[in-house]
């Protein structure tokens, strides 16, 4: 079903281009076309906002990795200590200590996995925040080009390069929102947008 939808969108874009044509204006101005394409992944990754998010993710990831290595070293040392005590402890006492150690390892693993998931979720949240901020910029580009639709570039089999607005969108977004550190959180942005509609 998805393949047919993507092919249908690609054919629609091609038909609209063939019937109306995309004409670049003098002096490198913005093209006039009913269909525009965009690479949303590149728009995010190459923007100042996306680069800040990537740097934050990498920095926090390194902190988490360092913490994991420290915890691992501590647990290895604790396990070795427990192993050396085995010969001097009664079996039931050793079993109790071993069970407590296993439970501790499981708790730590669960906590560290939760931190990893939270870090990934932070990136997903930032991407939603970016798309909310990008929407007015993309709507403005649609108005300026008399476009009826913006199609994801990877869904298109063939298109004229002139209708790709990715670079222009990045330029506008960098100018309007910078690295996005001053933007409201996604839930606040969504609430604000809902109030305005």
Give 134-153 pLDDT, tens digit per residue.
999 999 999 999 999 999 99
The percentage of residues in the chain with a pLDDT greater than 70, rounded to a whole number, is: 79
Above 70 in pLDDT, residue 4? no
For residue 170, give Cα distances in angstroms to 14, 57, 127, 175, 190: 25, 20, 14, 9, 22
Are 134 and 169 in contact by the 8 Å Cβ rule? The answer is: yes
Report long-range pairs for 1-7 (Cβ below 8 Å, ≥24 apart): 6/155, 7/157
Span 88-107, average pLDDT: 93
Tell me what pLDDT residue 51 has.
Answer: 96
Above 90 in pLDDT, residue 79? yes
Above 90 in pLDDT, residue 8? no
Give 153-188 pLDDT, tens digit per residue.
988 888 888 899 999 999 999 999 999 888 877 664
Top pLDDT among 135 and 13 is at 135
Cβ-count burial 1-39 (b if 16+ within 10 Å, e if not): eeeeebeebbeebbebbeeeebeeeeeeeebbbbbbbbb
Above 80 in pLDDT, residue 62? yes
Span 67-94, average pLDDT: 93
164 SS3 class: strand
Are 43 and 134 in contact by the 8 Å Cβ rule? The answer is: yes
Residue with token string 């079996």: 91
Above 70 in pLDDT, residue 196? no
Distance of CA 26 to the CA centre of its chain: 36
Are 138 and 36 in contact by the 8 Å Cβ rule? The answer is: no
Which of 39, 35, 43, 42 has the alpha carbon at shortest distance from 133? 43
Tell me what pLDDT residue 197 has.
Answer: 43
Which residues fall within 8 angstroms of residue 194, CB to CB, at 6 or more apart? none
Q: Give domain limits for the chain.
A: 2-196
Tell me what pLDDT residue 155 has.
Answer: 86
Tell me what pLDDT residue 149 has.
Answer: 93
Top pLDDT among 59 and 31 is at 59
């Amino acid at each position: 079903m998805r393949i047919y939808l993507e092919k249908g969108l690609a054919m629609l874009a091609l038909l609209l281009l063939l019937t109306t044509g995309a004409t670049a204006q003098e002096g490198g101005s913005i093209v006039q076309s009913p269909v525009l394409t965009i690479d949303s992944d590149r728009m995010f990754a190459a923007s100042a906002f996306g680069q800040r998010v990537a740097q934050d993710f990498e920095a926090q990831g390194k902190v988490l990795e360092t913490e994991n290595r420290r915890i691992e070293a501590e647990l290895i040392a604790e396990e070795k200590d427990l192993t050396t005590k085995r010969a001097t402890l009664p079996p039931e006492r050793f079993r109790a200590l071993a069970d407590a150690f296993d439970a501790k390892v499981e708790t730590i693993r669960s906590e560290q996995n939760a931190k990893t998931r939270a870090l990934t979720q932070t990136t997903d949240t930032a991407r939603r925040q970016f798309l909310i901020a990008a929407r007015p910029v993309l709507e403005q580009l649609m108005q300026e080009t008399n476009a009826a639709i913006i199609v994801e570039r990877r869904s298109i089999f063939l298109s004229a390069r002139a209708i790709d607005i990715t670079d222009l969108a990045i330029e506008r977004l960098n100018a309007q929102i910078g690295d996005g550190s001053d933007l409201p959180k996604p839930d606040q942005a969504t609430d604000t947008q809902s109030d305005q509609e």
